[in-house]
Chain A
Amino acid sequence: MAEEDSITWEAEPIQNFLDNHLLFRAIPKVIWEHWAPDYQIKPNFFITENALKDGLSMDWSKYSRSIDTLNRRNNPTLDNWCVSQIKVGSFKNTIQEKNLPLTIEHKPKKDPPKKNRAHTLITGFTIRNTTDIRRKIYKLVEWVPKMKPLLIE
């Protein structure tokens, strides 16, 4: 089957992110190794320099499986990376309830070698609000079953 031309990929509106969809993000061992002993996801998951500049990169389950998210990383093994997920419905409800300035923005990457139709940004983090937002939403993030730190099992 011929591969779809990435030039035709359009950014989709937020309405296309359905409540039962998921947003995936890989977390490196250097971050999760500090979450022992239970390895529950903590607020430092969210801090990246890019989250402040462009937004926090995630993969949308409409176009990606969690294994694809893992495989996009260097050295993609569960020793080095684990994969987390956020349910779109819970995310939308929380930002509405808590009046957070976040939004989901579909931003497919069209250029090789990193082309990725699932690429999505969570935007709205600023230098002033990140700590408050991180505290209010970190409990929404969970491990993808079977893609959590091996040490948990």
Chain B
Amino acid sequence: MIRRYSNPEDWSKAEIGRSFWFDEDKLLQKKFSKLAPYTESKLDIFPYKKEKMQNKLNDLRISIEEEIGRTYERYKDSKNDWIENGYREITKNIWNKTNYFIKKLLIPIVIFRQEKTKNPEILPCSDGSIDLLWNDGDFELLINISQENNKVQISGESYKFPEEDIEGTFNYNLAITVCIEWLKKIL
């Protein structure tokens, strides 16, 4: 079940740490347990920013829901043309995975980027996958969420630390961890 936080006032520090994972996802839970202390200490260092971060996170979550909804509607409206061009259908599963992936990455990005955080661009692809593109001036990250064997391809570049470029194909759950670890390193 997806945990939802509709009221930012209810979020405690611990809840923000815990919300990195979802109940059903044991592998991810194990991976993120390493990250939780780091994020908590970050919040302790900047307690005065906590409320701002919570508000920012809430705003981003709402805006990403809206953006995914708009993109999905546009895709649905032109689905006949999409199929006519010989493009592969983007399944509901891929839309859901995209939604889930973005929300998981938003928390660390808000913590590390704070006010500078931007939402990714959501780009439907002709092979039935979806691209997520983050480009916020300090880094560029392209994530391709594909229908093939639960795979996610990542390519990222840090403008500050060019030696920390990232590239690879991972299974879906691991890809989230890899992105977060990479963001920790470069931000």
Contacts and interface: CB of A to CB of B under 8 A. Distances in A.
B124 interface: yes
Given A42-B123, A42-B133, A44-B123, A135 B140 contact: yes
- With most chain A CB atoms within 10 A of its CB, the pick from B71, B75, B85, B122 is B85
A48 B127 contact: yes
Contact of A29 (B81, B123, B140): B81
Contact of B125 (A33, A44, A80): A44
Interface string B117-145: 00001111111010101000000101110
Interface of A: 28-31, 33-35, 42-44, 47-49, 80, 127-128, 130-132, 134-136
A44 B124 contact: yes
B96 to A, nearest CB: 18
B78 interface: yes
Interface stretch (B11-19, B49-57, B151-159, B176-184): B151-159
Contacts of B171: none
A34 B169 contact: no
Contact of B153 (A29, A34, A48, A131): A131
**Interface size class, chain B:** 20 to 34
B62 to A, nearest CB: 19
Contact of B155 (A49, A80, A132): A132
B82 interface: yes
A42 B122 CA distance: 10
Contacts of B86: 49
